[in-house]
Structure 1
Amino acid sequence: MIRTITLAVFLCIVSLVPTKADETITVKLDNDTHKQQIIELSCCNIFLDMKDDVNGIIRIHLDLENRQENKEILLFNNGYGEKSLKKMRPAAIVYDKYFGGTKKRRVIEPCRGLGSDFRIAPSDRENIMMLTGYETVMTCRLPIYIAEYKPRSFFRRQRYTLMEKLVVELNIEVTLKPDSTYWQLHDEYTALIGELEHTVFCTNKRHTPSLEEQKAAYRQKIETCLARIDRELTRHHWPRTDARYKLHMELQDKLKQIDLTAREGDCGQHKATHRCRYCNLSLRQIYHRLDDHYQTIYSSTDRQTTKEKLIREVRALYFCAIDRHRQAEWRANDYKAKIIDRYNRINRF
């Protein structure tokens, strides 16, 4: 007797353990141009609709449409036993005689995420659940039961007969792309860097406007971009793991690393000649220093980080060289083309 009871309990537990899916489907969604996806199966269509996320929470509405003409689709939010199914109202639910499993010991596999049981008539479409979470990879397992409906007769009340079970497993990969505000900020940063590449903040006391006034407009642009990034982070409340949060933080770090002092020098429009810490170097020595920096960045395992550490001196060396352009030394020197080449190569990293 004890062995019989133990076996019955074991069979019930086994029937509740999810089996291998009949269909495993990978779906790729994003919050830009691919928010929706339709999955066509023999018995039904599955509709996925990704809504605008709030505070970094991904929300995907899942609808199921019955494509069959004379069979119904049933999904359950509880693991009902056979006795419970027969007592269902308004219609009893029974297994077809050819349905797999041990009679009287079969247990329904529940569908996680349902708020209630669903019975979808032929050609009907129902919103059955909403998937939510912070993860960019989400899974959803749909145990779909195909049933025949038999109306009430004189001898028997209405019932659904479970004919077969189809398990669909969805692997949903979500890419969260930044919105247009981010790309505006990114473009402004790129334009600012482009301007600074060709700008020298003149340190000569005779220069008008003053050094601080020359830098003021650029400082204002940097501070405005930083303030807009702060507003975006505050408005969206993205978690630190969100790709959009990371992109905004990376852009913020780049803006903070802009060093206006590295662009200081003499504009050459005053009687005083250009002077900086590298003026005692020949153009040959400047080239070799630039080449050393180029080789260091090229052989580095993290070129971007290495470049950021060296770029200030690279620019200072380069502008020291080109500020001699009025001198015969720069115009006729064999190292002019080499210096320009190395500087451009470093900037392309």
Structure 2
Amino acid sequence: MRDPARILVVDDVADNVEILRMRLTSLGYEVVVAEDGEQALAKVRAALPDLVLLDIMMPRVDGLEVVRRLKADKSLPFIPVILVTAKASPKDVAAGLDAGGDDYLTKPVDHGALVARVRAMLRIKTLHDEVQALNKGLEAKVREQVEELGRVGRLRRFLAPQLAQAIVSAGDEKILENHRREVVALFCDLRGFTGFSETAEPEDIMAVLKEYHGAVGPLIRKHEGTLDRFTGDGMLVFFNDPLPCEDAPERAARLAIEMRDAVAGLVGSWTKRGHKLGLGIGMAQGYATLGRIGFEDRFDYTAIGAVINLAARLCGEAGDGEVLMSGRLAAAVEAMAEVEDLGERLLKGMARPAAVAKLRALRLA
């Protein structure tokens, strides 16, 4: 509410208007006046007063009709109305309050009553405005939270929840635009899955995939890897993007060992059901181009580059329970892992031999 408060005095008798104007002005209020109901409606919309003192008995449009129209106009803010009437019977007062009036004064207007009722209505106006401002702030906060939940939901399609939340908290998705960065890529898929899927019932295939994904998915989240995509039994995970982490090689190594062990725990059950399956993993370290692809309703975050191809080829070369890695990655994790150098190998689809190593286990801390 403004200071000083603005009060609209409405009466078709000029002497009444002048008396109220003088009294209110002496109390420090800003006063505007209207001579009839039509003028009052126009003045309210133009001046947006903080309080209206409204005579009931007026020609053309009386005070009761004026207050009804004001209270029905949703475009107006809350403006308390004190009805000023020469009729003070309970029936008349009830009719005024029922029409939308907030209080009333009887003529001739007593100065003490005028001061008390004006101050009371202005206090109500102030409290109402404060509540409205609080509500608007809460509404804005709710909208922001809903938008944030939507953004988190979209980001969680391919990011660990911690990373998705961090990006949303930063308020900037530019990090998801195309860029180049060094990453550690991890490819894994099930050994024997192609033959299994050619002969098994669809329900059995879906059951195996559900168990497989249920075992390795939480591990990806645990180590805060970025899940690129599922391709049936295969998946690509990479580290150090979109948010950087200094220990990307170590995280990838830990994830690989835990994924291998988790799937090993499922193999017994699969074997009893006649499914000959295992897990192979390939990892490499190098530079890739990363970014968001797709369209508004469905997008993915992906990595492209030689390092991704190398990890995929190493995965294809790995036997059941093996974790193969590039020579560069092996050098990065040798302090915390047991690594066997396998020398150079010519991998399928690659023009030159690549240095390959096998990750056997993590060293005890």
Q: Quick one: higher RCO (CA 8 Å, sep 6+), 1 or 2?
A: 1
Structure with greater helix share of residues? 2
Q: What TM-score do you get using the length of structure 2 for normalisation?
A: 0.28
Q: What TM-score do you get using the length of structure 1 for normalisation?
A: 0.29
Structure with greater Cα Rg: 2
